[in-house]
């Protein structure tokens, strides 16, 4: 069986207030809070995960919220726009909802033959609701306010903004098995046929734009999905053979990861399906506990005391 990249695994971004972040993504957007843990490299900060019921790869958006974070600025060398699949006919609902909740949103527009509705989260992160050409049959998480007939299905696409697209495109095609699907001007759409959803990476080439500056309201990295650690380590060899630096395998508790910076400046991660999110709480309880990796468990009381209050 050929090793495949199975589309997107997760996307990680930076936020300001953790409480505002949770309120926006769970209440306004209707995602499930999947996991409440800490930044494994900085346990005084939360790491919040949102997605569908079980935290299926391709639905997972995660944030590092820093209460006093400076706002970043989207620019080149960054994942800049996150596209969520929504059902046809749902834009009227979403526009009304965004108006009611004072969400900053734009007019529906079209790219690559698909309608999309652009909006921003409270920190200014750029998001889009997209009506996929071929639909999306993933089962959505449903809330009282956001029912299945309008709910987000998970990621449709992510846009990387680059000074130059060519070398990034080569990583997608030569290592990850993506193919150029469409092109308009300086926008390139790459997709993989290994999966039906979360399969699209858009590259936008802006040779004269400013480099992005990390901070609240910007994306930190995108993670591509593989089945397990064996496939993960075979992709490690492929990245190394292209002359790129890549980390050793890192245990992220809910998946195993490798990180490398692609030539366009975007931090790429490759992450496994195993073991998944239902390892330290059941699917029914996901997101209800503060979960710490084993190395921080002895310091739980101190960590809980410094973390910001969420309600």
Residue from 151, 162, 223, 291 touching Zn ion (CB under 5 A): that is 223
Alpha-carbon span 299 to 79, nearest angstrom: 34
Stretch that binds Zn ion, among 9-17, 65-73, 122-130, 229-237 (CB under 5 A): 9-17
Residue 288 Cβ, how far from Zn ion at the closest point, in Å?
A: 22
| CB-nearer residue toward Zn ion: 189 or 225 | 225
Q: Does 136 bind Zn ion (CB under 5 A)?
A: no
Of 84 and 268, which has the nearer Cβ to Zn ion?
268
Distance of CA 196 to the CA centre of its chain: 17
Of the candidates 74, 16, 24, the residue with the CA atom closest to the CA atom of residue 50? 24
Q: Which one, 12 or 21, has the nearer CB to Zn ion? A: 12
Parallel, antiparallel or unpaired: strands 290-291 and 267-275: unpaired
CB of 238 to Zn ion, least distance (A): 19
Contacts of residue 86, defined as CB under 8 A and 6 or more positions apart, other chains included, come to: 94, 129, 130, 131, 150, 151, 152, 153
> Measured between alpha carbons, how far is 210 from 288 in angstroms, rounded to an integer?
40
Instruction: Give the count of beta carbons closer than 10 Å to the beta carbon of residue 103.
Output: 18
Choose the binding region for Zn ion from 68-76, 173-181, 261-269, 291-299 (rule: CB under 5 A): 261-269
Q: Which of 114, 269, 270, 286 binds Zn ion (CB under 5 A)?
A: 269
Q: Please report how close the Cβ of residue 308 comes to Zn ion at its closest, in angstroms.
A: 21
Phi, psi of 238 (to 5 degrees): -65, -40
Contact 223, 9 (CB under 8 A): yes
d(CA 264, CA 190): 15
Tokens 């990850």 -> residue: 176
State which residue, 269 or 273, has the beta carbon closest to Zn ion: 269
The piece of 11-19, 114-122, 126-134, 274-282 that touches Zn ion (CB under 5 A) is 11-19
C-alpha of 55 from chain center = 12
Q: Closer to Zn ion at the Cβ: 12 or 219?
A: 12
Burial of 236 (0-12, 13-18, 19+ CB in 10 A): middle
Half-sphere exposure of 26 (CA within 13 A, CB side): 19
Measuring CA to CA, which residue among 119, 118, 195, 126 is closest to residue 161?
Answer: 126
246 phi, psi to nearest 5 deg: -140, 145
Our finding on whether 12 is near Zn ion (CB under 5 A) is yes
Residue (12 or 197) nearer to Zn ion, CB: 12
Please state the closest distance from residue 82 (CB atom) to Zn ion, in A: 14
| Interface positions, 78-97, toward Zn ion (CB under 5 A) | none
- Stretch of residues binding Zn ion (CB under 5 A), selected from 13-21, 23-31, 136-144, 265-273: 265-273
Pairing mode of beta strands 255-261, 267-275: antiparallel
Minimal distance in Å, beta carbon 222 to Zn ion? Answer: 8
State the minimum distance, in angstroms, from the CB of residue 79 to Zn ion.
11
Q: Given the complex with Zn ion, which of 136 and 269 has the nearer CB atom?
A: 269
Cα separation, 8 vs 302, in Å, equals 35
Stretch that binds Zn ion, among 70-78, 155-163, 201-209, 264-272 (CB under 5 A): 264-272
Nearest residue (CB) to Zn ion, 279 versus 299: 279
Total residues at interface with Zn ion (CB under 5 A)? 3
Question: Which residues in 30-69 contact Zn ion (CB under 5 A)?
Answer: none
Q: Which is nearer to Zn ion, 77 or 79 (CB)?
A: 79
List residues near Zn ion by CB under 5 A: 12, 223, 269
């Amino acid at each position: 069986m050929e090793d495949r990249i199975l589309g997107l695994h997760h996307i990680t971004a930076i936020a300001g207030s953790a409480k505002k972040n949770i309120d926006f993504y769970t209440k306004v957007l209707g995602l499930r809070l999947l996991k409440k843990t800490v930044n494994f490299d900085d346990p005084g900060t939360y790491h919040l995960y949102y997605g569908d019921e079980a935290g299926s790869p391709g639905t997972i958006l995660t944030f590092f919220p820093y209460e006093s974070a400076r706002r970043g600025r989207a620019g080149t060398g960054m994942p800049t726009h996150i596209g969520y699949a929504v059902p046809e006919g749902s834009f009227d609902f979403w526009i009304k909802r965004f108006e009611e909740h004072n969400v900053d949103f734009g007019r529906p527009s079209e790219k690559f033959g698909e309608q999309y509705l652009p909006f921003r989260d409270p920190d200014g992160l750029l998001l889009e609701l997209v009506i996929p050409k071929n639909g999306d049959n993933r089962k959505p998480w449903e809330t009282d306010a956001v029912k299945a007939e309008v709910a987000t299905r998970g990621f449709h696409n992510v846009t990387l903004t680059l000074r130059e697209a060519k070398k990034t495109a080569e990583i997608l095609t030569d290592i990850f098995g993506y193919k150029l699907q469409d092109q308009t001007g300086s926008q390139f759409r790459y997709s993989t046929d290994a999966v039906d959803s979360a399969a699209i990476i858009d590259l936008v080439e802006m040779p004269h734009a400013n480099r992005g500056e990390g901070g609240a309201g910007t994306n930190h990295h995108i993670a591509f999905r593989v089945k397990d650690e064996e496939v993960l380590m075979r992709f490690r060899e492929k990245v190394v053979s292209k002359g790129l630096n890549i980390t050793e395998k890192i245990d992220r508790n809910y998946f195993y990861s490798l990180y490398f910076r692609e030539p366009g400046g975007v931090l790429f991660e490759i992450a496994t399906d195993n073991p998944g999110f239902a390892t330290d709480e059941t699917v029914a309880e996901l997101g209800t506990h503060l979960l710490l990796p084993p190395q921080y468990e002895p310091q739980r009381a101190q960590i809980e005391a410094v973390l910001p209050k969420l309600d």
